[in-house]
Amino acid sequence: TQINNGIRNLYVTNIKFDPTNPSVIWGTTGMIPQFDTDIENQDGSIILSKDSGMSWSEVKRNRNNGGIQLYSALGISPSNPNVIYAGAFGIFFKSKDGGMTWTESGFGPLGSNPGHPIDIAVDPSDENIVYVDSYVGGVFQSKDAGKTWVTNAFGYSGSETKDVAISPDGSKVFATSRSGIFSSEDKGVNWLPVGLGDVLLDELQAVSPHPTDTNKILLGDSQDAMSSIFLSTDGGMSWKTVFMLF
């Protein structure tokens, strides 16, 4: 069944479920220019479904100045789902009223090239602490809702990072990349590789901690036309294969 009703730009870059209502789904669209030079495909939006994805509406399309904008990442505060963040190269967006209005700020530390945001995670205990996993740039943290940023990629290269997620108690931050999966226990300042067990270190994609059990984490990869899902039951220290698609 096609569920693209209402999605104008089919280059969907991110999907997130409302943490309190699984029927509400947020998304972002728009193609990064170096992968598609068609201006029409770069004309993205922030999209919203309130009926489990059967229909969609555009919550935000243009920038506040009227210019077209692609959107490559989105994050929702677990403690306050009315607080929503979205990002793209060089720009960051925040809504405090469930997407009705949006403010804009810069993305990344001053004087740096932070790359393209790929995923956004919000601290479960503080809606103003935001982590962004960025293509090329690495992991960045803001403690003031995106107004200022610091680099949080100490301990790994940050090369072609794919996903970022926070454990339900906020004690660990996980990031995936081509060079493996990494964990931070000091809110993203220092990182250690935790790709032990069955995990192959190429093309790691998504990481998803269990919503209530801090020991259980799912990890997905895609390598050499095979896709696998791994499960950790010890907080990310070791992994076992639970699904493989040949």
> Residues 191-241: pLDDT tens digits?
877 877 787 655 678 899 999 999 999 998 876 556 889 999 999 888 999
Please tell me the pTM assigned to this model.
Answer: 0.74
Torsion region of 66: left, alpha or beta (phi above 0 gives left; psi -120 to 50 gives alpha):
left
At 8-60, the pLDDT tens digits run 999 999 999 999 999 999 999 998 766 556 777 789 999 999 999 999 999 99
Cβ 190 vs Cβ 168: under 8 Å: no
Backbone dihedral region for residue 178 (phi beyond 0: left; psi -120 to 50: alpha; all else: beta): alpha
CB atoms within 10 A of CB 34: 8
Whether pLDDT at 162 is above 60: yes
Reported as type and span, the H/E element at residue 115 is none
Residue 34 backbone phi and psi in degrees, to 5: -70, -10
Supply the pLDDT for residue 192. Answer: 79
Distance from C-alpha of 15 to C-alpha of 25, rounded to nearest angstrom = 7
Question: What is the distance between the alpha carbons of residues 137 and 90, in angstroms, rounded to a whole number?
Answer: 11
Q: What percent of the chain has a predicted confidence (pLDDT) above 90?
A: 59
Chain mean position to CA 32: 16
Q: Is the pLDDT of residue 87 over 80?
A: yes
| Rounded-to-5 percentages of helix, strand, coil across the chain | 5, 45, 50
pLDDT for 65 equals 92
116 pLDDT band, cuts 50/70/90, is: confident
Residue in the block written with tokens 């809504």: 95
Q: In which order are the strands placed within the sheet that holds 12-18?
A: 12-18, 21-29, 45-49, 57-60
Predicted pLDDT at 91: 94
